[in-house]
Chains A and B, each alone.
Chain A
Amino acid sequence: MSALGIVGGVLQAALVVAGSPLLVGWMRQIRARLEGRVGAGVVQPWRDLRKLFRKEAIAPAGTSEVFRFTPLVLVGSTLVVAAAIPFVTDASALGPGADLFAVVALLAMGTATLALAGLDTGTAFGGMGASRATTIIALVEPSLLMAIFALSVPVGSTNLASIVHSALRNPAQVLSPASLLAAVALLMVTVAETGRLPVDNPSTHLELTMIHEAMVLEYSGPDLALVELSASMRLSVFLGLLASLFAPWGIATSLDPVPLGVGVVVFAAKVLVLGTAVAVGEVFVAKLRLFRVPELLAGSFLLGLLAVAASFFLSRQP
């Protein structure tokens, strides 16, 4: 664990917490403008969060501790991931702990806890949302592992910091066919895992189609604020992961204030650009039928597998 990693971890965690609602607001604003609406403004998610935090916490009768602790677990696990992945600096706050499998497991833990909370309320919608979320996470997990694993093969380590470090030293590695395939797979996984179109509609409250919203239906007040905050943090963590792995340029490698500042600005810019691309893409697609979602995710799994195969066999120098 190095000083660079710790400074980076603190910076990243603060940046993700402060910036994620702004990212969500920015994406909503872009969608609104493209659809011919004025939009609520970029800081609207923060206003919503402030309003929710001031309200009284209410838990439905008959719910257990699982329901009450879930928002904390969600925010906590996402914060750890945000500090662990090398976004701003090429060292990780967790050192060897920033392993690909650990990070993916932490992200999955958030989803699993939320599914448990959905079941805990005992409502029909909560159970339905939990069942759908579990189906999707079961399909997303292998593709996510495969896609990042393909990048770790040429490096010879599953540590995210080593992958980013090696990509920074050897830029040609980013443009190999394996990494292009993995990028497409990871993008699909990001869309599915953060509940964006075409897998889930983040703005829907139509009972038959919602996934994430169905699970959080019973939350209110500060708990709802935490759940919403963690959902937006997950979005920026996934987009940041995509940016760090496939466009690692600008990540700070020393403790000087100038590279650190550049790292922060570049990270924010990369996530913003990716978010803009996702938001613009969403305007043009309709939500996929739920039964077609496994097809999409089987495709992303296959792309991940091809990426692994390609990085094992294709680029092997004789």
Chain B
Amino acid sequence: MSEALYVQLLDLAGGALLLTAVVILWRRKLTAIVRVFAVQGFALSLLVAVLAAHENDPTLGGIAVGLLVLRAGVLPWLLRRALAAAGEEQHETRPLVNVAASLLAAAVLVLIAYAVSQPLVELFPSAASTAIPVGMAVVLIGFFALVTRRHALSQLVGFLLMDNGITAVGFLATTGVAFVVELGISLDVLMAVLVLYVLASRMREAFGTTDLDDLRELHD
């Protein structure tokens, strides 16, 4: 792969990651959010695949395929199942901060991400490391989504967004963590989602809602 094409594809994948993170913050319908989340998983695996092709590293290629299956296939499928079980009134995210304000907050977060990751980029300036701020921005936007959403399910999406960002930063900064480490992280994420999925359905059975604000009150 030529250097120019590599940079172009890397930038394209980075741009797609950032754009999908913003769209997740923008949309209200959880079904649409899950669809965008699957696209983001695809963009993330594309990023890793481009890195693998550039480094000529078959292990990294295998990780890219694994990421594609997990982030664009299994996790969105689990989210969709949880959503189908949740019922109609859970389909809107109802954020604590209104959408316009959270988009502006996302703009500030992106700038912060660029500012704080400059030392990382300067350590070893390369095409991959200049894209680190993108991953950082996705982490921050994911955290923002996590703290401003009410429902357990939309918080779960925020958590996964954050994890996508962390994975992207990991690969961009190190061009390939050890296979075992990545496998462990992916399994952890899958376990976390499964546990939260079960927790959310138990909550719904117990309280009839997954609105976490309701959990502040004491019940008999």
Question: Which A positions have Cβ atoms within 8 angstroms of B?
Answer: 172, 175-178, 180-181, 294-295, 298-299, 301-303, 305-306, 309-310, 312-318
Contact = CB atoms under 8 A, between A and B. Distances in A.
Given A306-B22, A309-B114, A310-B18, A176 B100 contact: no
B111 interface: yes
Given A177-B14, A299-B26, 10 more contacts: A176-B8, A301-B104, A302-B22, A303-B19, A305-B111, A306-B19, A313-B133, A314-B130, A316-B130, A318-B127
Contacts of B107: 301-302, 305-306
B27 to A, nearest CB: 10
A306 B107 CA distance: 7
Interface majority SS (helix, strand, loop, mixed), chain B: helix
Interface residues of B, number: 30
A294 B130 contact: no
Interface of B: 4, 7-8, 11-12, 14-16, 18-19, 22, 26, 98-101, 103-104, 106-107, 110-111, 114, 125-127, 130-131, 133-134
Given A180-B15, A306-B18, A318 B130 contact: yes
Contacts of A313: 114, 130, 133
Query: Which one of B107, B111, B125 has the highest number of Cβ atoms from chain A below 10 Å of its Cβ?
Result: B107
B151 to A, nearest CB: 20
B106 A302 contact: yes
5 contacts: A177-B15, A177-B16, A295-B26, A303-B19, A318-B125
Contacts of B111: 305, 309
Nearest to B28: A295
B18 A295 contact: no
A315 B104 CA distance: 24
A176 B7 CA distance: 10
A315 B110 contact: no
Nearest to A178: B15
A313 to B, nearest CB: 6
